[in-house]
Structure 1
Amino acid sequence: MILSDSKNTIQQSFASKAMQMLVLGLGLALLLFLGACSFENESLESVYNSKKGSYPLTTRHLNEEQEPVFVNRLIRQDSLYLLQHANNPVQWWGWGDEAFAKARELNKPVFLSIGYSTCHWCHVMARESFEDIEIANFINEHFIPIKVDREEYPDVDELYLTSVQMLSGKAGWPLTAVLTPDGQAFFGGTYFQPAALLSVLNKVSDTWVQRQDAVLEQANRLSGALRAINKSSDNTKTINASIISEAATRIQTELSNSVNSSNNQSKPGFPREPEMLFLLNHARRSLSEPIIDIVTQRLLDLAAGGIHDQVGGGFHRYTVDSNWVIPHFEKMLYNQAQMGRAYFLAYQLSGNDTLRTVGDKTVEFLLNNMQAPDGGFYSAMDAQSEDESGIIGEGEFYTWTYQQLSSQLTEDEMAVANTFLGTSVKGNFNGSNVLQNSYLDSADVNQSPEADDKIASVINKLAVAREQRKPPRLDTKIITSWNAMAISALVTGYSATDKEAYLGAAIKAANRLWEQSYDQQDGLARTISNNKR
């Protein structure tokens, strides 16, 4: 079965070696290494009582005492994303051998849902479908439902992202897949509207019951295709200067064509930090002015767009358009780290002061909003937050109605906002305004002190007003690799600016990883949630 309709899509590369080991015959062997749940011998109710108040209740199914009607196995987990689903009527299992053993015992397919705590469309699908009693009952009756936090199990995520991409041509989060009891995917997609999900699951269930042999054959064909990928990836090649130069040329062309093309207006816009960092490192070795110019312009475009938080600094994960105007509003640690490093490297190569300013704002956002007291860095900030009435919506913390702007700014300041920050009565996002800053991408930037001061005054006023809003929720999970990216960004920032605070923060974060994430016997932990490896 193939799904063609998806949201929040991204293209995924070939599967990793660990992923293909799963497909090629190790199968569920990985499951034996997964950690056992906490509170293993306690009832779900008692575990809930012990955790009550420590995680946000997102269910609408509450009794008269405002306690959740449903509690499922995810209440035993520490992941914020899994706890967000612990009170769904869907009787979720965590990723582990027990769930697959139950699927084999009952000869039921596995309904697998993968996401992360700050993903907007994950929240939408949870509200629309996993909180729906009819859909939940159908899933519970006909499937073994498993929830996975992709940040805890990136190898599992990569396996099924690649499988779903091969089945449907697209992949992203929330990732939806149906598996055989042995863990082989045979159907996949991403976000489904409720009616579509129920219809699809009916067809999948009927097909499993009536044509199970054909389903298993399709799953085996997919495994064979992944084996072919694995075989081709075994061919080792030497990376030499010509290959690096060829790659740099191709990436230059792609990045130059990815923005402002009439063919790309409806496509999502991702910053593509790894490619920019690759080009910057290549330019540092080759002293290539064209590469420096291309990356500098791309970074200025990003800084001027709505993907850049003009008021508080930092970057959202991506935009729904290719011109960086309307973002999905989650802020990921890896984005801040890589973007900060890219701006500092580009500043060192180009001498463009705007790049240094944006790099500073990005790193300062990181230090002020995502750093734990012990020096580590939290994984993400949610896309959603509450408005003044307590209603949760996407981008509420970051967007402004024209009335909200007018109540904070003078008439002259409103003129500045309209001219440089792209504000209007109509707005550009559900009647509100996602702020941009065209001045950052103009030839006049840093050439007109008066304009600089006026824009800074408006942004400062809005920053004070925004402090009165309820900020998005933080996922306080510590991810080792993302923290390493943040440390690298801070060291690069220190190299570019001589700011001792950056070096101090890098050392503090590195010490924290070494002391809490490293174990002499087990090595580095992938993640730490609630101080648990």
Structure 2
Amino acid sequence: MHKQSVFSFISQLIWVYILLFSAVSFSQKLTSGFKHTNALINETSPYLLQHAHNLVNWQPWSEAAFEQAKSQNKLVIVSIGYSSCHWCHVMEEETFSQEDVAQVMNENFINIKVDREERPDVDQVYMTAVQLIQGRVGWPLNVIVLPNGKPLYGGTYQTKTDWIKLLNSLSKTYKEQPEKTTEFANRIAAGIQEKNEFGTEKGSVFFSKELLNTNITTLKENWDLTYGGLKGQQKFMLPANINFLLDYVILSNDAQAKKYIKLSLNNMALRGVYDHVEGGFFRYSVDTKWQLPHFEKMLYDNAQLLSVYANAYKVFKNPLYKERIEETYQFLNTIFKSKKR
């Protein structure tokens, strides 16, 4: 071997050693100072990395995780969230970081964490399941599924005590009555399939004025005529509903609907659910009066609300709506905009 070749070979070995040493050092920095590190440490998602030091043996979504569940005959916990989700952080701190919770989860379940921004397909399937089971959805989305992936139970945030109680109950039922749990999961899967196929048949779509009036009547029964929005302890702005009603009042000139839309939009624009400092709308109000917001802003909410207030301004010519459009657009185009672009 020539001296030059030998020198080149040695140089390459040195670089390989440096790279390996750097990788080991980086890995040690990530794991040092923590009591436990799970398989999420190898992921790139900020949300998954937030759970990399939970005592729960989280795994990323993979076929291998479900194969493990089949071989060990265990139910699977699929917990879905995203990095800016408030209640995801609360449950991570108060539940998933606790030793007694981790013991129940690790002994009886295969545990999978999913970032909904990485896997919207997984999120969509299980969100539909939870909608069928609970009638409402949110995040963290916690779904207990069979080893074949079919959902058995689904819900959102739960306290540590309620979560342990639920897991013990489901694990016991699955071990003692596997046929019952499989039958129930099959019914949920059939419901998801039916919902996905609904309205996909070819041919004309049935629509009538009577059907429209029936749906409007149903909506009106749930209207909060004092503060706007829908009746309930929390208030979501539901921009798609308001845009639908704006189209409806143009066609029908329904005075009650017009009054309700203005009441809702005015309170949303003037009260605490709107950020009067930076601009933009918070995700929802935790009270019935739109005063106390959940301090989280989402791009999809604000983008839709721009459309809502623009359409409302065309109908009602209220200068307040134009002002909120301009402020929200400015907020999205500055604070929300990536500095890399």
Which bracket does the TM-score occupy, shorter chain normalised? 0.7 to 0.9
Aligned partner letter, 2:281: F
What does residue range 234-313 of structure 1 map to in structure 2 within 5 Å?
234-236=200-202, 238=204, 242=208, 246=212, 250=216, 253-254=219-220, 257-260=223-226, 266-281=232-247, 286=251, 288=253, 290=255, 294-313=260-279
Distance in 2 of aligned mates of 1:328 and 1:268: 10
Matched, 1:353 2:330: no
**In the alignment, what sits opposite 1:173?**
139
| 1:99 aligned residue (60, 65, 74) | 65
On the 8 A contact 2:227/2:264 being kept in 1, the answer is: no
Q: Name the structure 1 match of 2:166.
A: 200
Which of the numbers 49, 61, 65 marks the counterpart of 2:26? 49
* Alpha-carbon distance between aligned partners in 2 of 1:287 and 1:208, rounded to the nearest angstrom: 54
TM-score, normalised via structure 1 length: 0.54
Determine the structure 2 residue equivalent to 1:224. 190
The verdict on how the C-alpha distance between 1:205 and 1:333 changes in structure 2, with shifts beyond 3 A counting, is: same
**Could you say which residue in structure 1 is the equivalent of 2:3?**
none
Q: Deviations over 1:166-198 (max 9, x none)?
A: 334443222222111100111222222112211
- Structure 2: distance between partners of 1:69 and 1:134: 15
Aligned to 1:319: 285
SS of structure 1 residue aligned to 2:236 = coil
Shift in alpha-carbon separation, 1:217–1:253, aligned structure 2, 3 A: closer
Unaligned 5+ runs, structure 2:
1-18
Q: Is the 8 A contact 2:283 2:301 kept in 1?
A: yes
Question: For residues 312 and 48 of structure 1, do their structure 2 counterparts lie closer, same or farther at Cα, with a shift above 3 Å needed?
Answer: farther
Of 316, 334, 343, the match for 2:300:
334
> Secondary structure, in 3 states, of the residue corresponding to 1:328?
coil
- Pairs within 5 Å for 1:511-522: none
1:75 is aligned to: 41
Could you say which residue in structure 2 is the equivalent of 1:366? 332
Aligned to 2:291, what secondary structure does the other structure show? coil
CA shift digits 1:487-520 (9 cap, x unpaired) = xxxxxxxxxxxxxxxxxxxxxxxxxxxxxxxxxx
- Deviations for 1:35-73, whole angstroms, at most 9, x for unmatched residues? xxxxxxx99x958926968xxxxxxxx96xxx3332222
Higher fraction of helix? 2
Unaligned ranges ≥5, structure 1: 1-41, 54-61, 376-533
1-side partners of 2:53 and 2:213: how far apart? 48
Q: Is the 8 A contact 1:314 1:365 kept in 2?
A: yes
How does the TM-score come out when normalised to structure 2? 0.81
- How far residue 239 of structure 1 moved from its aligned partner, in angstroms, is 5.0
- Give me the whole-angstrom Cα distance separating, in 2, the residues matched to 1:251 and 1:75: 52
Structure number with larger C-alpha Rg: 2
Q: CA–CA distance in 2 between the matches of 1:71 and 1:287?
A: 60
Q: Name the structure 1 match of 2:123.
A: 157
- Post-superposition offset of 1:212: 1.8
Match of 1:385 in 2: none
Cα pair 1:72 1:86 within 8 Å, conserved: yes
Task: Return the alpha-carbon distance in structure 2 between the equivalents of residues 159 and 136 of structure 1.
Answer: 26
Are the equivalent residues in 2 in contact too, given 1:292–1:350 (CA < 8 A)? no
Distance 1:151 1:241, change over 3 A: same
User: Could you tell me which amino acid in structure 2 is paired with residue 196 of structure 1?
Assistant: D
User: Contact 1:248–1:279 (CA<8 Å) still a contact in 2?
Assistant: no
Tell me the SS of whatever aligns to 1:183.
coil
Q: Which amino acid aligns with 1:220?
A: N
Deviation string, structure 1 residues 141-169 (Cα, Å, up to 9, x no partner) = 21110111223323322322232333344
